[in-house]
């Protein structure tokens, strides 16, 4: 899929953002062909140099979350700079007039101010809490109980996991919000303001997963269970060659295949008779998980990881050995290279590395193109000339006045 025939080709969105959620929302649209124009202050926003970085200080984070966008830098403090930003946001056209931002508290970006120039403006605002106060994934996660569910059973302290799950969900909600609002505008001719709070996205999922109801209806505080699967059978095992393999049996078929390959069906049937258990059910597989794990452990400990993978391959059992990210680009490099979503890009200022395109695979397309991120301010003159019709001398004067950033 190329920009020309991407499913969102022709859609233009102005993005004023930092951190994870809003940039991810914009990149999600860019990877589907939308013209995403990221506008930053001259010199960059807070995430311009965010970790991880190369030894030379180039942000791999920036390169990862801004793929496929165009980059413009404008002085947010100057009146002329604010005029330029407003003009970009409210530029005429049926697939224009869309702003994605997590910049809260800037009066010149308020919806009421901008819609004076374009009444059908679509504006999606990402915030921490719905009142506009700030929050990040770590603080939201802490507020909603997950750190008390994560980690080994014997640990007394909370464990705040490193995956920015709520940022990811919030960013994808932001992309959905833009598409939903744009469809409504096509049908009814009206734009509007859409607010998305990181906390609200996380709270919704706590409810959707049944955690709130579990605590309220059952009057329980769910305990930590380490790497066991909650409500079924799943856990990890060490292998003879000191690898660790995660094994999950979610269904009766998974369970039967696991019993067959490990030749433990008869033993487990005897155990079921002694305990009065029915291991065809999730309930009893979970209730007696430690006993079952004790029976399975010798089978895994007496085999190398490669042999275990060969024996489990072709069965319905869900499994994977634990790998580090370094393993993925080391021993797993050929697997990554062969993946149709992945491609090696040559990122200016960083060099060549493997990067993903869109995870969405359309049946009528054979490619999910991975692209580089822009260099900060790379498209400033191009975008201002194309959208606002500014001439070379006008752009030169704006540059001399430091209203816009110089192209690299």
User: How are the residues of the chain apportioned to helix, strand and coil, as percentages rounded to the nearest 5?
Assistant: 40, 15, 45
User: 């002694």: which residue's tokens?
Assistant: 274
For tokens 């794990």, the residue is 293
**Which tokens hold the place of 3?**
């920009």
User: Does residue 167 carry a catalytic annotation?
Assistant: yes
CA distance 406 to 375: 11
Judged by DSSP in three states, 73 sits in: strand
Burial call 54-89: b when 16+ CB within 10 Å, e when fewer: eeeebbbbbbbbbbbbbbbbbbbebeebbebbbebb
Look-up of token digits 């505008």:
185
Residue recorded with tokens 């290279």: 337
d(CA 126, CA 170): 8
What sign results for the dihedral spanned by CA atoms 54, 29, 167, 115? positive
CA distance 262 to 317: 11
8 A C-beta contact, residue 60 and residue 92? no
3-state secondary structure of 263: coil
| Contact yes or no for 7/29 (Cβ under 8 A) | no
Task: Sort residue 273 into left (φ over 0), alpha (ψ -120 to 50) or beta.
Answer: alpha
Considering the candidates 167, 200, 236, 257, report the single residue annotated as catalytic. 167
Q: What amino acid positions are annotated as catalytic residues? A: 167
């Amino acid at each position: 899929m190329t920009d020309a025939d991407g499913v969102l080709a022709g859609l233009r969105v102005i993005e004023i953002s930092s951190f994870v959620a809003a940039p991810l929302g914009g990149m999600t649209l860019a990877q589907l062909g939308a013209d995403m124009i990221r506008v930053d202050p001259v010199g960059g926003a807070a995430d311009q140099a965010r970790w991880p970085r190369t030894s030379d200080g180039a942000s791999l984070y920036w390169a990862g979350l801004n793929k496929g966008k165009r980059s413009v830098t404008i002085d947010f403090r100057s009146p002329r700079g604010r005029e330029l930003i407003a003009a970009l946001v409210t530029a005429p056209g049926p697939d224009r007039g869309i702003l994605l931002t997590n910049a809260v508290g800037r009066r010149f970006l308020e919806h009421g101010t901008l819609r004076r120039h374009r009444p059908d403006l679509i504006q999606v605002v990402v915030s921490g809490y719905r009142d506009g106060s700030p929050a990040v994934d770590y603080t939201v996660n802490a507020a909603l109980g997950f750190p008390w569910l994560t980690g080994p059973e014997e640990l007394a302290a909370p464990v705040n996991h490193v995956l920015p799950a709520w940022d990811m969900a919030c960013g994808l909600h932001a992309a959905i919000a833009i598409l939903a609002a744009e469809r409504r505008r096509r049908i009814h001719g009206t734009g509007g303001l859409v607010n998305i709070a990181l906390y609200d996205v996380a709270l919704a999922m706590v409810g959707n997963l049944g955690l709130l109801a579990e605590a309220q209806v059952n009057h329980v505080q769910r305990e930590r269970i380490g790497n066991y699967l909650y409500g079924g059978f799943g856990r990890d095992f060490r292998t003879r060659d000191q690898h660790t393999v995660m094994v999950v049996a979610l269904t009766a078929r998974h369970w039967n295949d696991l019993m067959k390959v490990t030749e433990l069906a008869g033993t487990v049937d005897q155990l079921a008779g002694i305990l009065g258990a029915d291991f065809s059910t999730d309930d009893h597989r979970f209730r007696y998980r430690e006993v079952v794990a004790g029976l399975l452990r010798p089978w895994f400990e007496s085999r190398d990881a490669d042999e275990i993978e060969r024996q489990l391959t072709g069965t319905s059992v869900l499994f994977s050995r634990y790998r580090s990210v370094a393993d993925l680009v080391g021993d797993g490099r050929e697997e990554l290279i062969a993946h149709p979503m992945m491609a090696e890009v040559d990122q200016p200022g960083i060099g060549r590395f493997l990067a993903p395109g869109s995870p969405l695979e359309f049946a009528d397309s054979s490619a999910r193109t991975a692209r580089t991120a822009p260099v900060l301010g790379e498209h400033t003159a191009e975008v201002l000339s194309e959208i606002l019709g500014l001439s070379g001398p006008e752009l030169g004067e704006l540059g001399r006045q430091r209203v816009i950033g110089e192209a690299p």
